[in-house]
Structure 1
Amino acid sequence: MDYKDTLLMMKTEFPMRGNLPNREPEMQKDWDAADIYAKVQERTKGRPMFILHDGPPYANGDIHMGHALNKVLKDFIVRYKSMSGFHAPYVPGWDTHGLPIETALTKNGKVNRKSLSVAEFRKLCEEYAREQVNRQREQFKRLGVRGDWENPYITLDKEYEAQQIKVFGDMAKKGYIYKGLKPVYWSPSSESALAEAEIEYHDKRSPSIFVAFDVKDGKGVLEQDEKIVIWTTTPWTIPANLGITVHPDLEYSVVKVNGVKYVVASGLLESLEKELEWENYEVVRTMKGQQLEYVVAQHPLYDRESLVMCGDHVTLDAGTGCVHTAPGHGEDDYIVGKKYGLDVLNPVDDKGVFTEEAPGFEGQFYDNANKPITEKLEEVGALLKLTFITHSYPHDWRTKKPVIFRATAQWFASIKDFREELLQAIKEVNWIPTWGETRLFNMVRDRGDWCISRQRAWGVPIPIFYGENNEPIVSDETIDHVSNLFRQHGSNIWFEWDTKDLLPEGFTSEHSPNGTFTREMDIMDVWFDSGSSHQAVLEERDDLQRPADLYLEGSDQYRGWFNSSLSTSVAVSGKAPYKGVLSHGFALDGEGRKMSKSIGNVVVPNDVMKQLGADILRLWVASVDYQADVRVSDKILKQVSEVYRKIRNTFRFLLGNLFDFNPAQDRVEFAQLPELDQYMEIKLNDIIGKVNQAYDQYQFSTVFHAVHNFCTIELSSFYLDIAKDTLYIDHADSHARRSIQTVMYDILVALTKLVTPILPHTADEVWQFIPAVTEESVQLTDMPTAVDYSNSQAVVEKWDRFMDVRNDVLKALENARNEKVIKKSLTASLTLYPTDKTKELLENVDQLHKLFIVSGATIAGSKESTPANAETFDDIAIVVEKAEGETCERCWIVTKEIGKDPNHPTLCPTCTETVTKHY
Structure 2
Amino acid sequence: MNKTKKTSSKRTKGSPKKEKPTVESLQEKRDSSSESEIRNLWKAQKVYAFNEKTSELPTYVIREMPTPVDSLNVDTVRRKIYQDIFLKTEIMRGHTVAYTPLWETFPFSVEAHIIKENISSAANIINFRRQCRQIYSNRLKKQQQKLINLGIFADWSSSERTMESRHETKLFSFFDRLRDSKYLKDELRLSHWCSNCFSPLETGKTAIPLTKSIAFTYVKFPFSSGFEEFGTDVYFAVHLPISQLWEIAGTIAIGIYEKVPFWLTEYEKQYIIFSEPQLKKFAHPNSKRKDLPEPIAKLNLSKLRDCSLTHPLFSLTDLKFFIIPESVHDSLEEQSEKNEMLSGIIPLNPAHHSLSYTICKTMPEIGNFINEQFVSSSSIIPIFDETGRFTEETDILCGLNLVNAIQFISDELEARECLINARNEKKQQLHCEHCNNTSVSRPYRHWFFSNTSSNILEEIPNSQDYWDHYPEDIQTPIQNEIRNINDMSISSQRQWGVPLPVLRCDNCNDLITDKKILRAVRSSIRRGSEHWFRLSVEELLPSDTVCLNCHSKDFRKESTYIESDFSNLLQTLDSSDFKTPIMYASKNVIFSPKATFLKWLGELSILAAAMQLSRPSKESQPFKHIMLHHIAEHVWETEVLEEYIQEYPADVIRHVSILPDIHEVPIKGNGKQQLEALIKEYYNKYEQLKEALYQAVNFLNDLKKRTGADKHRTLADENDGTSALLEQDKLAISVTTERIQQIESSYAVSDYAKIWQLLFDFCQSDLLFYIDLSKTEITDENLDSKYITVSSMLTAILQRLAPLQPFLAEEIHVETYSSSSIFKNRLFEFSHINIQGDTKSRWESLKKTHQTKHK
Letter in 1 for 2:323: V
| Cα gap change, 1:403 to 1:652, in 2 (>3 Å) | farther
Distance in 1 of aligned mates of 2:130 and 2:800: 47
Distance in 1 of aligned mates of 2:685 and 2:603: 40
Partner of residue 472 from structure 1, selected from 511, 518, 521: 511
After TM superposition, the structure 1 = structure 2 runs for residues 413-812 of structure 1, keeping only pairs within 5 Å, are 413-415=448-450, 421=456, 445=486, 450-452=490-492, 454=494, 456=495, 459-466=497-504, 469=507, 471-487=510-526, 489-497=527-535, 499=537, 502-503=540-541, 508-509=545-546, 511=548, 516=553, 518=555, 520=557, 522=559, 524-525=561-562, 527=564, 528-538=566-576, 550=590, 569=608, 571-573=610-612, 584=634, 587-588=637-638, 604-605=641-642, 607-623=643-659, 625-626=662-663, 631=672, 636-659=678-701, 660=703, 662-663=714-715, 664=718, 665=721, 681-695=737-751, 703-704=752-753, 706-707=754-755, 709-711=757-759, 713-716=761-764, 718-720=765-767, 722-732=769-779, 742=789, 745-746=792-793, 748-768=794-814, 776-778=821-823, 781=826
Task: Tell me what 2:99 maps to.
Answer: 90
Q: Pick which of 575-584 and 83-92 moved more.
A: 575-584
Deviation by residue 1:722-776 (Cα, 9 ceiling, x = unmatched):
4344221112588899589758844x445434443332222222333566x8974
Distance in 1 of aligned mates of 2:166 and 2:451: 30
Residue 163 in 1 paired to residue 170 in 2?
yes
Q: Is the 8 A contact 2:759 2:797 kept in 1?
A: no
Letter in 1 for 2:181: K
After TM superposition, the structure 1 = structure 2 runs for residues 129-278 of structure 1, keeping only pairs within 5 Å, are 137-177=144-184, 180-193=187-200, 199=205, 202=208, 204-206=210-212, 239=248
After TM superposition, the structure 1 = structure 2 runs for residues 816-835 of structure 1, keeping only pairs within 5 Å, are none
Looking at both structures, which has the greater relative contact order when contacts are Cα pairs under 8 Å and sequence separation is at least 6?
Answer: 2
Shift of 1:631: 3.0
Q: Is the 8 A contact 1:243 1:309 kept in 2?
A: no
Task: Tell me what 1:410 maps to.
Answer: 445
Distance in 2 of aligned mates of 1:314 and 1:498: 42
Partner of residue 328 from structure 1, selected from 351, 363, 366: 351
Q: Is the 8 A contact 1:188 1:352 kept in 2?
A: yes
Q: Is the 8 A contact 1:158 1:486 kept in 2?
A: no
Where 1:37 maps in the other structure, the secondary structure is coil
| Cα gap change, 1:192 to 1:202, in 2 (>3 Å) | closer
Q: Is the 8 A contact 1:91 1:152 kept in 2?
A: yes
Deviation by residue 1:625-647 (Cα, 9 ceiling, x = unmatched):
25866536655533332232123
Q: Is the 8 A contact 2:746 2:755 kept in 1?
A: no
**What is the TM-score when the length of structure 2 is the normalising length?**
0.63
Q: Is the 8 A contact 2:191 2:444 kept in 1?
A: no
Distance in 1 of aligned mates of 2:775 and 2:425: 84
| Cα gap change, 1:547 to 1:755, in 2 (>3 Å) | closer
Shift of 1:493: 3.4
Aligned residues: 732
Residue 80 in 1 paired to residue 63 in 2?
no
Letter in 2 for 1:89: A
Letter in 2 for 1:307: F
Letter in 1 for 2:192: Y
Distance in 2 of aligned mates of 1:788 and 1:478: 75
Letter in 1 for 2:210: K
Shift of 1:621: 2.4
| Cα gap change, 1:641 to 1:551, in 2 (>3 Å) | closer
Task: Tell me what 2:297 maps to.
Answer: none
| Cα gap change, 1:134 to 1:847, in 2 (>3 Å) | closer
Where 2:190 maps in the other structure, the secondary structure is strand
Distance in 2 of aligned mates of 1:754 and 1:390: 60
| Cα gap change, 1:314 to 1:786, in 2 (>3 Å) | farther
Distance in 2 of aligned mates of 1:554 and 1:368: 54
| Cα gap change, 1:466 to 1:743, in 2 (>3 Å) | same
Q: Is the 8 A contact 1:52 1:548 kept in 2?
A: yes
Task: Tell me what 2:48 maps to.
Answer: 37
Deviation by residue 1:304-356 (Cα, 9 ceiling, x = unmatched):
45533343533696738748575334666534412343333755664668889
Residue 50 in 1 paired to residue 74 in 2?
no
Q: Is the 8 A contact 1:752 1:763 kept in 2?
A: yes
After TM superposition, the structure 1 = structure 2 runs for residues 366-381 of structure 1, keeping only pairs within 5 Å, are none
| Cα gap change, 1:725 to 1:409, in 2 (>3 Å) | closer
Deviation by residue 1:798-833 (Cα, 9 ceiling, x = unmatched):
69xxxxxxxxxxxxxxxxxxxxxxxxxxxxxxxxxx
Runs (5+) with no aligned partner, structure 1: 1-11, 217-226, 265-288, 590-602, 696-702, 800-843, 856-890, 894-919
Q: Is the 8 A contact 2:195 2:403 kept in 1?
A: no
Task: Tell me what 1:313 maps to.
Answer: 331
Deviation by residue 1:672-712 (Cα, 9 ceiling, x = unmatched):
878787566434432432244135xxxxxxx33x2554355
Letter in 2 for 1:34: Q
Where 1:686 maps in the other structure, the secondary structure is helix
| Cα gap change, 1:443 to 1:206, in 2 (>3 Å) | farther
Q: CA RMSD in A?
A: 6.8
Q: Is the 8 A contact 1:686 1:786 kept in 2?
A: no
Shift of 1:537: 3.5
After TM superposition, the structure 1 = structure 2 runs for residues 287-302 of structure 1, keeping only pairs within 5 Å, are none
Q: Is the 8 A contact 1:186 1:405 kept in 2?
A: yes
Distance in 1 of aligned mates of 2:406 and 2:86: 59
| Cα gap change, 1:554 to 1:74, in 2 (>3 Å) | farther
Deviation by residue 1:237-271 (Cα, 9 ceiling, x = unmatched):
974677899999xx99999xxxx99889xxxxxxx
Where 1:150 maps in the other structure, the secondary structure is helix
Identity %: 13
| Cα gap change, 1:653 to 1:604, in 2 (>3 Å) | same
Task: Tell me what 2:24 maps to.
Answer: none
Q: Is the 8 A contact 2:191 2:201 kept in 1?
A: yes
| Cα gap change, 1:723 to 1:538, in 2 (>3 Å) | same
Task: Tell me what 2:229 maps to.
Answer: none
Distance in 1 of aligned mates of 2:766 and 2:690: 17
Letter in 2 for 1:694: S
Runs (5+) with no aligned partner, structure 2: 11-30, 224-235, 264-272, 278-300, 368-378, 704-712
| Cα gap change, 1:124 to 1:539, in 2 (>3 Å) | farther
Distance in 2 of aligned mates of 1:557 and 1:759: 27
Q: Is the 8 A contact 2:505 2:512 kept in 1?
A: yes
Task: Tell me what 2:38 maps to.
Answer: 27
